[in-house]
Amino acid sequence: MKSAVITGASRGIGKACAIELARAGFAVIINYKTNEAAAKETKREIEQAGGRAQIYQADVCSPDEARRLISKCVMEFGGVDVLVNNAGISLSKLFLDTEPEELARVTEVNYFGTFYASRAAAKEMLSSCNGGSIINISSMWGVVGGSGEAAYSASKAAVIGLTRALAKELAPSGIRVNCIAPGVIDTDMNACYSVEVMEALKEKTPLNRIGSAEDVARAVRFLATDDASFITGQVLTVDGGFSL
Ligand code: NAP
């Protein structure tokens, strides 16, 4: 049985990815930072559907914790075939109002966290000689830049740069590295927006709807499996056409 680690899988897009990958036959590690109850609920839903899952608390900003997260997957399931770097935080703030601590925090979680978990997973994938697939969750703002989202956009653009560099470096070892850039997705991350703002975002989306976590999870499943065996270094935008 192949195995997958999904960071930030207690809620939102990460939860949907864990459920989708479990349905596709992967044994999954559900990582979370603080919300243990939500992580347990994700595990329960997977097991109820006949899948295999374990939860593991780790802050991806810590290189040691990221390493232990990957080790947990090796201990539980014998290796790591897929890593989904999904854990992330948002920051909606005007450029001139953004404080250094806020810039550091969003960069640490979104970019450093992706770097550390990828490094730990790549080490394991390299030593197993079985290849693997790393999927990074960026954002459409990392592609086109978002007004009022400078620090967030830059952290997500960094994830795209990392994806392309790692794809080149790890391809000779059979490790594929791709990126998904979601548009506006209905999760807790957007709960701060009013109904009016969400409606306006929907209207700006050519496919005329807000995306679901499952829309992103299906794209993750595609990139995780051999269906995407000749695809690496790509950014797949899942945004209903918003960034066109
Ligand atoms: P969400 O609902 O806010 O969930 C965030 C998840 O990340 C939670 O599971 C949380 O764990 C975890 N997390 C946060 N900081 C962490 C850390 N330091 N270490 C480990 N886990 C951490 O977010 P979402 O909307 O599903 O977003 C998931 C990803 O998609 C993010 O990278 C986000 O930037 C990206 N994205 C989202 C949208 C959107 O519209 N929603 C659009 C584009 C891109 P706890 O439950 O323990 O707090």
Q: SS3 of 40, please?
A: helix
Q: Which strand (E) or helix (H) includes residue 179?
A: strand 175-182
Instruction: Check the CA dihedral 129-76-120-133 and report its sign.
Output: positive
Q: How many angstroms does the Cα of residue 176 sit away from the middle of ligand 1?
A: 23
Mean pLDDT of the chain: 98
Q: How many angstroms does the Cα of residue 44 sit away from the middle of ligand 1?
A: 20
The packing angle between helices 36-48 and 12-23, to 10°, is 20
Residue 213 CA: nearest ligand 1 atom is 26
Q: How many angstroms does the Cα of residue 187 sit away from the middle of ligand 1?
A: 9
Residue in 135, 110, 111, 107 with CA at minimum distance from that of residue 121: 135
DSSP, res 182: E
| C-beta 189 within 6 A of ligand 1 | yes
Query: What residues are labeled active site?
Result: 152
The confidence band for 86, taking pLDDT boundaries of 50, 70 and 90, is: very high
pLDDT tens per residue, range 13-69: 999 999 999 999 999 999 999 999 999 999 999 999 999 999 999 999 999 999 999
Whose structure tokens read 């059979």?
174
Distance of CA 215 to the CA centre of its chain: 13
C-alpha 47/C-alpha 233 separation (Å) is 33
Q: SS3 of 177, please?
A: strand
Q: How many angstroms does the Cα of residue 8 sit away from the middle of ligand 1?
A: 6
- pLDDT at position 82: 99
C-alpha 9/C-alpha 1 separation (Å) is 20
Using alpha carbons, list the distances in angstroms from residue 5 to 26, 157, 163: 10, 22, 17
C-alpha 24/C-alpha 1 separation (Å) is 11
Nearest CA to ligand 1 atom 23: 189
Provide mean pLDDT across the span 148-152. Answer: 97
Structure-token pair, residue 240: 């209903």
Residue 60 CA: nearest ligand 1 atom is 19
Nearest CA to ligand 1 atom 44: 139
Structure-token pair, residue 96: 């001139």
pLDDT tens per residue, range 196-227: 999 999 999 999 999 999 999 999 999 999 99
For the chain, which domains are there?
3-238 (3.40.50.720)
- pLDDT at position 105: 98
- pLDDT at position 64: 98
- Write down how long the chain is: 244
| C-beta 84 within 6 A of ligand 1 | no
Residue 110 CA: nearest ligand 1 atom is 32
**Structural contact between residues 181 and 239, judged by C-beta atoms closer than 8 angstroms:** yes
C-alpha 60/C-alpha 207 separation (Å) is 34
pTM of the full predicted structure? 0.98
For ligand 1, mutation pick of 189, 190, 238, 239 (most atoms within 8 Å of CB): 189
For ligand 1, mutation pick of 28, 30, 32, 65 (most atoms within 8 Å of CB): 32
Residue 36 CA: nearest ligand 1 atom is 47
